[in-house]
Structure formats: C-alpha cells, structure tokens
Structure 1
Amino acid sequence: MSDLNYHLHTEADRTDRGTTAIPLSILDLAPIPVSGSAAESLSRSLDLAQHAERWGYNRFWLAEHHGMPGIASSATAVVIGHIAAGTSTIRVGSGGIMLPNHSPLVVAEQFGTLESLYPGRIDLGLGRAPGSDPLTAQALRRGPGSDGQDFPERLRELREYFRPGDGPALPPRVRAVPGEGLNIPIWLLGSSGFSAQLAAVLGLPFSFASHFAPDYLIAALELYRSRFEPSPHLERPYAMVAVNVIAADSDEEARRLATSQEQQFLGLIRRQPGQLRPPVNSMDTIWTPQERELVHRQLSFAAIGSPQTVRKKLEQILEETAADELIVATQVYDHQARLHSYKLLAELMR
C-alpha cells in the first residue's frame, strides 16, 4: 500500500493554520435515551452527521460497544454504511472496531465493501479492548487466544488482506474481495502506551481515548511521537485526541446538560449501564462523594460551558497536547441541544 493517501494534515499544516483551524471531528456513541429506541438513536446519528457535514466537521466515527443498553452502534460497520449513505463528503469510520472480536478477513471484507461503496471516505480505526463486559466478550470471542494479546499479529494479517493481489497473502491463497488493493486508512486507538508504541513503530496515525481515560494521555503522546518511524503511509506522527465537549449558551446550562453524561458514567462505575438519562439540576443526591470524585476524574478531559468557556479550555488542551486533530464526544440527552452544542463548537473553532 505504498501509495496510500491518509488524507491527513501534517503538523506543519496545523501550525500554519493556527490552533483555531485544527481539524475537528465527531465520535458518535449513538446514545439511546431513556424511553427511546435504537431505531430513533440511529436516525438521530444520521441527522447529526448530515449537520456535521454542513458545519465543516472532518470525520464522523462510531464506536463498537456490546451489551450496552444506552449505545446503538454494536454492528459498527453496518452503522457506518448507514451514515455514509446519507452523507456525501464527510469521512466516516470506526472509533473503533475491536479487532480481537473479529476475524481479520471479515473486517477486511466489510471495510473493503464500505470503501467500494463510498470511495475515499472510509476510515478504519482499530482497538484491542472487548468493548463490553467479560461475559459478553466471551460470547463474542468464543474461545482462547482472543484476549487482545495477539493484536499485533491480527493487525498484520488484516493489513496483508489490503495489499494488491500480486503481493504476499496471509494465510496463503486467502483473499479479501472486496478489500484487496484498496487504500483504507488504518488508525490505532488506545488509552495506554501499547497502541501508541505500536502505531509509532508501524508509522500509523494514533488516536487517544482521553474522553474516558485521560490519565495516560500525555505520556502516550510523548511515546508515540518520540518513537515514530516514517512509513509509506505517514511521514510524520499524527495524533488525534478525543475530548468531551458540551457547549451551550451559558455555563449553567452546559453544566446541567452534562449531568446526563455524569449519570451514564456513574452507572458504569456501579456496573449498572443504562440508557442516557435526562439532565438534573444537581447530582448531589444521586452520587456519593467518592463516586463524584471517580466520575470527575474519568471526565476530567472535557470542555463544558458557554462558547467562551469551551474555547478557553480547548486552547489549553491544544497547548498541552499539540494535537493534530480533535475528535469530540457529546453525550447530551436532548437531540436539539446536542446539535446546538456541535454547531456552537464548529463556529468557535473556525
């Protein structure tokens, strides 16, 4: 894949444009609100993607989660096709596909099909976590040797399937059709140093999941950049950072909207995942002081407030991370308020 075009902006490009012109993307968790349905959630995801395309967002990613009552994107490749079919220019992809859950050949065929249907618009972001609880992970993976430890080998096999047909195949004589010879950008995703180092060695773009695991962000970015080896796919390191952003007309309204996200994370801490709940005026009667501290720590990498407050926080984040791109997650109960948040963000980042 020596001619692969990753459609990325280089670090020099970002510097020339200035911090407010940094590429901005969306990580959609396809939230299912209380009393809502997966069908409604997927319809709203498409509506968000269509608005995002008009507002100038760079890419629209969906994440693989299983057994989560509040997330509708478990069949991630299918949802990507749904979004790509309803848009025309925005890049659409996975943030990500959990590779240990799948046969590399199946992933190559699925994304080869997507790239064939929507050429030049598909991204393949890969992770090695199960995206589920242990019981669901066992149901998905169906046997030993699928715990993520063989991720580098699975990645190597997957990349071989995308090579042109006259190159070596792995396993012998197995071919991905569609998939073979297609230029599909592969990203590595992570919340620790494992994928950061692997992305660096392979010369691939890297995205860090700081929207739920911010503690190791800076160390992972330093590891990725310091060990990066140029490849035919990427000349310089390219790091995308995931950020929780909730923008509203006032700080008070944004903080109130953010309580839906806080309730969702609280449910995960209590091992009681559920649908996205309406915002509340105060969380004090819902969580304990210890739970509040845990939730705030997980959500510490966030910009919540009025446009002015969000701008100040994002400038701080860009200063700390030197991110080449931001990918934004916005868990808001009301769909119109969620759209308004993304519109405000697009306007202030121009």
Structure 2
Amino acid sequence: MNVPLSVLDLSPVSQGSDAATALRNSVDLAQRAEQWGYRRYWLAEHHFVAVASTVPALVIAQVAAATSRIRVGAGAVQVASTTAAAVVESFGILDALYPGRIDLGLGRTGHRIRDRLAGNEKKPEPAPARDVDGLFIPQPPAEFGIKDNPKLRATVATLQQPGAQIPDFEQQVADIQAFLDGTYVSPEGVALHIRPGEGADLPLWLFGSSKGESAQVAARRGLPFVASYHTTPWSTLEAVEAYRDAFRPSSALTQPYVIVSADAVAADDEQTARHLTSTFGQWVHSIRSGRGAIPYPNPDDAQPLTHEERQQVEDRVATQFVGDAGQVVERLDALARVTGADELVITSITHRHEDRLRSYELVAKEWGLI
C-alpha cells in the first residue's frame, strides 16, 4: 500500500501574472487536492520574492474556509522572524475556527540565513553523486546555499525589530509547546496563557534540510520530521537517519514519523512534462543567485541557462521528478522506499495554473488516491 501524499504550495507568481491570482490559484488547488485525496495542504513562507504565501496563517485561513476535510498547515513558519507567542496566537485562532484540521510546521530558515551572514553556516561535505536503489542522490552544489548580498541582508534586517535577540531554535520550539500545553513561565517567573491557543489540537512538524539542528531537535522532543529532498537532495538520507537514530518517544509520538518532500511535475506525456519544467532551472538559479524567486518563467519564450548557470542548479534539476504519471510515481515510490518515509509531500510548479492542476490530478490517480 502506498504511503499518503500531501501538497506543499508556495503560491508561486507566474511571469505576466500577479500575487492576487496566485492566491486564488492556491485556494482552487486546495479544493481540488481535497477532492483528489491528498492528506494535507501546506503553505510555505517566503518574503520579498515572487511567491504569494508571505503570511501562511492568513492563507491557511482562506484555504481551510474553502475546504472541509483536508488538513491545512504551514510548511513552515520561519520562527526566527516572529515570536513563540505570536505563532501560538495565530494558529490557536485557526484551530478554534477549524478544529482538528490545522498543522503547525516550524522551520529554522531564518536562523540558517543568519548563520550564513555571520559566517557560521556549515557547508555540506563533498560527496560523489550516487544511485541508491533507484533514488538519485546528487553531489552538493559547488556554491552552497543563498548568496550573501545586500538584498539578503536587507531582508533579514527588515523582518525583525532593531536590536531584537532571537532565541535559539530549540528554545522557540520549547516555548511554543509550553504555550500550547499551558505550562509557559516567563524568564521573570510569570505564568502566561494564550487563549485561543492553550490546549489547541496543533500537531507540530519540524522541517529540516540536513542532519543538523532541526533533525536533532525533532528527535530530542519526539516530534515528526519533514526532510527536504526537494531543496537539499544530497543530504536527505543522512537527515532522516540522524532523526531516527536520535529519536526519543514523547506524548506526541511513540516512534519516529518522517515526511519527505519532492519536486514533481507530471503531464499526459513525457515530452509535454519536459517542456513545462524547462524553466525550472532558471527559477532555481534566481533563488541561489541571491535575487530571490522570480516570477515563474514561461517555457514558451524563456532564455536558456548558460553552462555555468546550469551547473549551479544541476542538483535540483536532476532531482525534480518529471514525466508522465507513471514515470513520476515510479520515482516517488523510490523516494518513499529508500527513505522509509511515512508520507510524501510534493510541490509542483508550472507557469500555467491548469498545468499544475493536471499534474496533481495525474499523480493522485496513478498513486491510487482517486
């Protein structure tokens, strides 16, 4: 029996379109995803780029209102740019309005970017590309991560109050848990209670791209872990292994629970799918170059990447699952088998909304959801 499939949506803005259209498309896709049998619909958080899900809680509210069964959540809240109290307040309201349907994903992207700006980010260890039982594991890119530039520094500065001190990631997770279970006490010894929020049925999910802090915190605190094959495919296996090895049972989980993400685009035939994804490299390059995600390029008239640009994104292009439904599902099956994932979450990005809808529908049918 196949593992459940879920959706990770960035609300991408397409070339020639706008953010309002992207948000309407997200609501439409969520309604279709519910009909097609996907388990969850998660919204990503990004800032100052051509994606519309800048405040996941607001988009989640719209998606939850437009659906009735599918779980809706954040994939993931960037806690470095907010506070534990603010997270619990907003998601506590969502749980009160849509009880039993909200997932709270937490990520340390903001912490990682600050590490990079401070020169503290650890680069991945060089390793050759390899095939593991049908799953391609690329070598890490020569230029790792997002480039340090004025826009990146301005983004980090703008998303926090001047002089703000950011707690470490595990402390923020601990504070969120304490607010949810009603045991939070301030450093000055004052008990604080958030309503709605306290006692909310909000499963926490920690997102990670390596065997580092996110995987370790998820394991130590007995929380489910989401490993990012779609952004850091070279480190997915070690991230999952590290999480499982260090896992400690908790009131939330008695054994590890792993979701693995993948980029996937299916079409009625492989040639069409290849055309639809022919600008994926340009989009990834815009992110890695430091400009931030550009409006998703139209494959009908986009300029090809140079050889050097292609080399900078080859790991992502090579690990995007592209083809007809059978080809895509074959690679998804390999991902689930090799990682031992309990669930997969797929993100599909195309220039035209109808092509994205078709991709998710084809995969759902081939996977046996419909």
With normalisation by structure 1, the TM-score equals 0.89
Contact 2:45 2:53 survives alignment (8 Å): yes
- Is 1:229 paired with 2:248? yes
Gaps of 5+ in 1: 1-17
8 Å CA contact 1:67–1:133 kept in 2: the answer is no
Residue range with higher mean Cα deviation, 75-84 or 289-298: 289-298
Separation (CA, whole Å) in 2 of partners of 1:93 and 1:182: 14
8 Å Cα contact 2:34/2:70 also seen in 1 = yes
C-alpha separation between the residues in 2 aligned to 1:198 and 1:139?
27
Aligned equivalent of 2:97: 117
Shift, 1:302, TM fit = 2.3
Maintained 8 Å contact 2:152/2:290? no
Match of 2:191 in 1: 173
Residue 278 of structure 1 pairs with residue 335 of structure 2: no
From 62, 65, 81, the equivalent of 2:43 is: 62
Match of 1:50 in 2: 31
| Contact map agreement 1:214 1:300 (CA 8 A) in 2 | no
Partners of 1:265 and 1:287 in 2: how far apart?
A: 11
Distance (Å, rounded) in 1 between the aligned partners of 2:343 and 2:270: 25
1:259 aligns with 2:278: yes
Q: Rate the CA distance shift 1:26–1:182 in 2: closer, same or farther, 3 A.
A: same
Paired residue secondary structure (1:276): coil
Q: Greater CA deviation, 136-145 or 118-127?
A: 136-145
Please, which runs of 5 or more residues in structure 2 have no aligned partner?
A: 114-150
Answer yes or no: is the 8 Å Cα contact 1:244–1:299 preserved in 2: no
Equivalence for 1:103: 83
The Cα of 1:146 is off from its aligned counterpart by 4.7
Equivalent pairs, count: 325
Match of 2:230 among 211, 218, 242: 211
Q: Does 1:348 align with 2:366?
A: yes
Per-residue displacement from partner, 1:10-56 (whole Å, max 9, x unpaired)?
xxxxxxxx2xx211000000011112111111101000000000000
What is the distance in 2 between the residues matched to 1:300 and 1:162? 41
Report whether the alignment pairs 1:84 with 2:64.
Answer: yes
Aligned-pair CA distance for 1:145 = 5.8
CA deviation map 1:241-294 (0-9, x unaligned): 01000000111111111123222112123333321111148x7x5212222122
RMSD across aligned C-alpha pairs, in angstroms?
1.7
Identity of aligned residues (%): 38
For the residues of structure 1 that align with 2:25 and 2:260, how far apart are their CA atoms? 24
2:327 is the alignment partner of 1:309: yes
Alignment of 1:193-208 (within 5 A): 193=211, 194-208=213-227
Quote how far apart the aligned CAs of 1:168 are: 5.0
Aligned partner of residue 93 in structure 1, secondary structure: strand
SS in 1 for 2:181: coil
Q: What's 1:245 paired with?
A: 264
Moved over 4 A (4+): 144-147
Q: Tell me if structure 2 keeps the 8 A contact 1:100–1:146.
A: no
Residue of 36, 41, 44 corresponding to 2:17:
36
SS in 1 for 2:346: strand
Following superposition, the deviation at residue 197 of structure 1 comes to 1.1
Q: Is the 8 A contact 1:199 1:224 kept in 2?
A: yes
Partner secondary structure for residue 141 of structure 1: coil
Partner deviation per Cα, 1:125-184 (whole Å, 9 max, x = no partner): 00011289331111112245656x6111111111111114xx453452322111011121
Matches of 1:168 and 1:49, distance apart in 2: 35
State the secondary structure of the residue aligned to 1:188: strand
- Cross-structure match for 1:9: none
Paired residue secondary structure (2:321):
strand
SS of 1:290's partner is helix
- Judged with a 3 Å threshold, the aligned counterparts in structure 2 of structure 1 residues 300 and 146 are, in CA distance, closer, same or farther, namely farther
Secondary structure (helix, strand or coil) at the match of 1:235 reads coil
